[in-house]
Amino acid sequence: MEVKIKGIYKHYKGDYYIVEDIAIHSETLEKMIIYRGLYENSPLWVRPYSLFLDEVNKNNQKYRFELQEIKSKR
């Protein structure tokens, strides 16, 4: 599974986030996901790529973050 830049993801606890970009850790070269909550005053977050896609099987959700299909109203 790949993470979609500018994709909207639902966290298994219920909040929604937008993936801003994917970065590379300068020391370990590990891929990191840069994301921000879609709620007021949300900070910018970073999480290792592998943990972003981690399986949790909680609250009827298989993965920690799941991509949402949001259709345009146009």
Show the domain range for 22.
Answer: 8-67
Establish if 32 belongs to a structural domain: yes
In-domain check, residue 74 = no
Res. 1 pLDDT band, cuts 50 70 90: confident
Model pTM score? 0.88
pLDDT at 18 over 90: yes
What pLDDT score was predicted for residue 13?
95
CATH number at residue 56: 2.30.30.320
Query: What does the buried/exposed string (b/e) look like for 18-29 if buried means 16 or more CB atoms within 10 Å of the residue's CB?
Result: ebeebeeeeeee
Structural contact between residues 16 and 7, judged by C-beta atoms closer than 8 angstroms: no
**pLDDT tens across 27-72, in order?**
999 999 999 999 999 999 999 999 999 999 999 999 999 999 988 8
The answer to whether position 73 is within a domain reads no
Domain-located, residue 25: yes
Total structural domains in the chain?
1
Kindly state whether residue 39 falls inside one of the protein's structural domains: yes
Tell me whether residue 21 is in a domain.
yes
